């Protein structure tokens, strides 16, 4: 009876791994547009908040601490939109970073698979 090593996970062939690399590269390329759009939205929302804050401070009366409090209350909706846009942007960048790591992983798998196939054919 011959001993066989247990195989865990998927055993890949080079063509399948190359397809996964190509798919991941395409997802990265599409992700660039997503990150750019999220950044553009974040900056627009931040400008909206800054403008609303400036008008609210200008409009408020009294000592500075009261004017700032009134401005904060008056512009909270703008701040929330700006914060949510920033969260979306950071999520997009984290996703893009994860895709870069996924591509690296698939490239490493391809190197291993090629080495395995080369050893079998030798």
In 3D space, the residue among 110, 98, 92 whose CA is nearest the CA of residue 21 turns out to be 110
Q: Per residue in 13-25, pLDDT tens?
A: 888 899 999 999 9
Q: How many domains does the chain have?
A: 1
User: What tokens appear for 54 in the block?
Assistant: 């400036």
Does residue 28 fall inside a structural domain?
no
Report yes or no on 74 lying in a domain: yes
> Is 45 within the bounds of a domain?
yes
The per-residue pLDDT for 11 is 62
Q: Can you give the pLDDT at residue 5? A: 47
The range of the structural domain enclosing residue 60 comes to 34-111
**56-92 tens-digit pLDDT:** 999 999 999 999 999 999 999 999 999 999 999 999 9
pLDDT tens digits along 34-54: 999 999 999 999 999 999 999
pTM above 0.85, yes or no: no
Is 64 part of a structural domain of the chain?
yes
């Amino acid at each position: 009876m011959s001993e066989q090593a247990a195989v865990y996970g998927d055993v890949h062939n080079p063509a399948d791994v190359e397809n996964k690399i190509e798919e991941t590269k395409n997802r990265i390329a599409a992700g660039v547009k997503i990150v750019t759009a999220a950044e553009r939205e974040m900056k627009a929302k931040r400008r909206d908040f800054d403008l609303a804050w400036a008008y609210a401070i200008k409009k408020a009366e009294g000592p500075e601490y009261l004017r700032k409090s009134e401005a904060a209350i008056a512009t909270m909706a703008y701040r929330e939109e700006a914060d949510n846009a920033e969260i979306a942007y950071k999520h997009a960048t984290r996703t893009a970073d994860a895709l870069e790591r996924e591509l690296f992983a698939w490239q490493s798998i391809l190197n291993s698979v090629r080495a395995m196939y080369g050893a079998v054919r030798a």
